[in-house]
Structure 1
Amino acid sequence: MNYPLINVPERTVKPRHKGITMVMDKGLSTRQAEDFLEVSGVHTDIVKLGWATSFVTPNLQAKLDIYKNAGIPVYFGGTLFEAFVIRNQFDEYRRILDKYNMEFAEVSDGSITISHEEKCEYIRKLSGQVTVISEVGSKDATKIFAPYKWINLMRAEIEAGSWKVIAEAREGGNVGIYRDSGEVREGLVDEILTQIPEETIIWEAPQKVQQVWFIKLIGTNVNLGNIAPAEVIPLETIRLGLRGDTFDHFLNQK
């Protein structure tokens, strides 16, 4: 930090297994990626190239190299995995991961319908090739899962080989663990946390109010995902109690 300040919550250090900030890159140029990393790279743990944007991104390898040279892991969004699977091109997807020297991959079923057994088999296969992050929840706002189902799905995917499980919210933060208004389904989150260790979950939280809610519930070192590049520094101040939203929260804990 730039100067001393007492009574600031202690953050975990990289490489982090909890307190992760996962950033969603929805189409930054190489120059924008460089500018983003200059300011926010120190606070960024992993970058997702949103949904299937990598398919249409110019200079893809150059951008991947920028992140990798900065020591920031990067991976393709789960929708790309689904796009290959629905077209019976899973083996081609694996070759794409190798072609780009990807170390992480996301397995999701938010847009396709496959059995959970089949999804877990994809996790098992890919976990021998890369570090797998799997996503639980549907992108369809009309599909609402009971808490026990979220728990069973998360547990099975961790057992199948997922490093972390993502709680679905989309980039808008209005499905999955949230109501369409963006409000957290508090009962659902509470139930999940009774059975699934919080450090194994990445909560998608693109909205500030959602980030604040999870930080107050779980603490400074909660895993948060789908953070916009311009929101990484603001999020870090929220984590440290240096923004109005959490200013008193951490002081009262001392």
Structure 2
Amino acid sequence: MNYILKNLPVRSQKPRTTGFTMVMDKGLSIKEVENFVDANSDFVDIVKFGWATSYLTKNLAQKIQVYKDAGIPVYFGGTLFEAFIIRGQFDDYRRVLEKYDLSFVEVSDGSISLNHDKKCEYIEILAKDVTVLSEVGSKDAAKIIPPYKWIEQMQAELQAGSWKVIGEAREGGTVGLFRDSGEVRQGLVEEILTKIPEEKIIWEAPQKEQQVWFVKLLGANVNLGNIAPNELIPLETIRLGLRGDTFDHFLGDHQL
């Protein structure tokens, strides 16, 4: 850091499993990625190429390598997995992972109807070769999944081999964990946390207010995802109590 401030919360250090930040790349150019990692590599743990944007990304292998050279793993969004599955192309999908030498994969069913046992079977197969992040929740705002089903699915997916489970919110943060207004479904989150260890969950939280809510609930080292590249350092200031929204949260008895 550039100077000393006392009484800041202690942030976990990379490589980390808590305080994990997943950034969403929706189509950055190679030059933009180079600039991004130059300014932000200390703060980002993994990058997701949003939904199926990797299908259209120019110079994909080169772009992946820029992230890798900065020590940042990448993975393809779960929607791409679903696009292969719905077309009966699971083996083709595995070959794509091998072609681009990816060590992480997302398994989701937010856009398709997939038997949950079958989803867990895919997780189990993939987990033999790569680290699996599995997503729970629907991208359909009209489909409300009760808390007990979130818990059952998260438990089953972790048991099948997922490293962490992701709470669905989409890019905009208006489905799954959140109401269409962006408001957190507080009861859902709190019920999930009664059964699933917080370090095993990445909460998709693209909106600032959502990030603030989770930091206040679970602290500076909550796992958060779907963060826009230009919102990464602002998120770090929220985590450290260096933005107005959490300014008093970590001061405790140290205020003047």
Residue type of the partner of 2:240? L
Counterpart of 1:85?
85
The aligned residue for residue 217 of structure 1 is 217
Offset of 1:39 from its aligned partner?
1.0
What secondary structure, in the 3-state scheme, does the structure 2 residue paired with 1:241 have? Answer: coil
2:229 is aligned with 1:243: no
- Within 2, Cα distance between the matches of 1:81 and 1:40? 28
| Offset, 1:129 | 1.2
* Distance in 1 of aligned mates of 2:159 and 2:195: 14
Spell out the pairing of 1:68-217 with structure 2 (5 A cutoff): 68-217=68-217
Q: Distance in 2 between matches of 1:8 and 1:111?
A: 41
- Could you tell me how far apart the structure 1 residues matched to 2:150 and 2:190 are? 12
Q: Which residue of 1 aligns with 2:63?
A: 63
How far apart in 1 are the matches of 2:35 and 2:52?
23
Q: For the residues of structure 2 that align with 1:192 and 1:235, how far apart are their CA atoms? A: 23
Q: CA deviation at 1:189?
A: 0.3
What SS is found at the alignment partner of 1:24?
strand
1:253/1:204 CA distance change after superposition, 3 Å: farther
> Which whole-Å CA distance do the structure 2 matches of 1:73 and 1:58 have between them?
18
Once residues 14 and 71 of structure 2 are traced to their aligned partners in structure 1, the CA distance between those partners, rounded to angstroms, is 10
Secondary structure of residue in 1 paired with 2:38: helix
- Secondary structure of the residue aligned to 1:237 is helix
**Distance change >3 Å, CA 148–CA 205, structure 1 → 2:** same
Residue 20 of structure 2 is matched in structure 1 by 20
**Map of 1:37 onto structure 2:** 37
Encode CA deviations 1:130-171: one digit per residue, 9 max, x unaligned.
100000000000110111100000000000000010000000
Aligned residues: 254
Aligned partners of 2:164 and 2:29: how far apart in 1? 28
Match of 1:250, SS state, is coil
After TM superposition, the runs of 4+ consecutive aligned structure 1 residues lying more than 2 A away are none
Tell me which amino acid in the other structure corresponds to 2:181: S
Match of 1:50 in 2: 50
Structure 2 Cα separation of the partners of residues 33 and 18 of structure 1: 24
Superposed displacement of residue 42, structure 1: 0.7
Give 5+ residue unaligned stretches, structure 2. none
3-state DSSP class of the match of 1:194? coil
Residue identity opposite 1:205 in structure 2: A
Q: What SS does the corresponding residue of 2:4 show, helix, strand or coil?
A: coil
User: Which blocks of at least 5 consecutive residues in structure 1 are unaligned?
Assistant: none
Give the deviation of 1:2 after TM superposition.
1.1
- Offset of residue 253 of structure 1: 6.5
Q: What code does the residue aligned with 1:135 have?
A: E
Cα distance in 2, alignment partners of residues 121 and 232 from structure 1: 34
Query: Percent identity, aligned pairs only?
Result: 70
Post-superposition offset of 1:178: 0.1
Amino acid at match of 1:231: E
Cα shift at 1:4: 1.1
TM-score scaled to structure 2, two decimals? 0.98
Write the letter of the residue equivalent to 1:36: F
* SS across alignment from 1:75: strand
| Structure 1 SS opposite 2:36 | helix
| Structure 1 Cα separation of the partners of residues 205 and 89 of structure 2 | 31
